[in-house]
Amino acid sequence: MSEVFCDLAKGKCKPCEGGIPPLTTAEITALMPKLDPAWQVEGGKLRRAFQFNDHYVTMTFVNAIAWVSHQQGHHPDLAVGWNTCQVEYITHAIGGLSESDFICAAKIDALFDL
C-alpha cells in the first residue's frame, strides 16, 4: 500500500486496472479510524447509509457524490430511497478494497458534513 494520507479527504484516487492485491485486514483496520464510525466493512465492501430530511436533499447529496466520483474516476454503488442513500465502495478490478475506496469515502464524509 502507498503512504496513507493523514487526511484521506485530501487524497487523490489512483486508477486501478488490477494487478495489485486488495488491502489486507490489517491495512483496512488501520484506515477505518480515519473515516466516520458509521462506515462498516461488510462482505468485502465499504458501506455507509446516510439519512436526510426529504427527497430533495437526498438527491442533492447523490448528485454531489456523482460529481466527486467523476472527478476521482472512482465510482460507488448507490441505493437511493426517499430520504436515504446507501453508499458502497469496492475496487472491482482487484476484487476487494483499495486505498481509493477509503479516499472516496472520506470525501463523501466531508460532503455530508457541509
- DSSP reduced 3-state for 34: helix
- How many Å apart are CA 12 and CA 8, to the nearest integer? 8
pTM, full prediction: 0.84
pLDDT digits (tens, 9 = 90+) for 28-84: 999 999 999 999 999 999 999 999 999 999 999 999 999 999 998 899 999 999 999
- DSSP annotation of 45 reads E
Instruction: Check pLDDT > 50 for residue 6.
Output: no
Domain assignments of the chain as residue spans, ordered by start: 39-114
- How many Å apart are CA 78 and CA 65, to the nearest integer? 9
Instruction: Check pLDDT > 90 for residue 5.
Output: no
- How many Å apart are CA 108 and CA 32, to the nearest integer? 14
pLDDT digits (tens, 9 = 90+) for 68-99: 999 988 999 999 999 999 999 999 889 999 99
In this structure, whether the domain defined by 39-114 belongs to CATH 3.30.1360.20 is answered with yes
Higher pLDDT: 25 or 13? It is 25
